[in-house]
Amino acid sequence: MAAKQLRFLEVALAEYLDAVEWYLDQSEAAASGFTEAVARAAATLAEAPNRWPVYLHGARRMLLDRFPYALVYRELPEVIQILAVAHCSRRPGYWKDRR
User: Is the pTM for the entire model greater than 0.95?
Assistant: no
Asked if 9 and 35 touch (Cβ cutoff 8 Å), the reply is: no
Enclosing domain of residue 55: 5-87
99 within some domain: no
CATH number for the domain including 13? Answer: 3.30.2310.20
Please state, in angstroms and rounded to a whole number, the distance separating the CA atoms of residues 53 and 58. 10
26 within some domain: yes
pLDDT in tens, 51-94: 999 988 889 999 999 999 999 999 999 999 999 999 988 776 66
The Cβ of residue 82 has, within 10 Å, a number of other Cβ atoms equal to 26
Nearest to 4 by CA among 58, 60, 55, 42: 42
34 within some domain: yes
Domain count, the chain: 1
Nearest to 82 by CA among 9, 17, 2: 9
Question: Is residue 3 over pLDDT 90?
Answer: no
38 within some domain: yes
pLDDT score, position 90: 75
2, exposed or middle or buried, with CB in 10 Å at 0-12, 13-18, 19+?
A: exposed
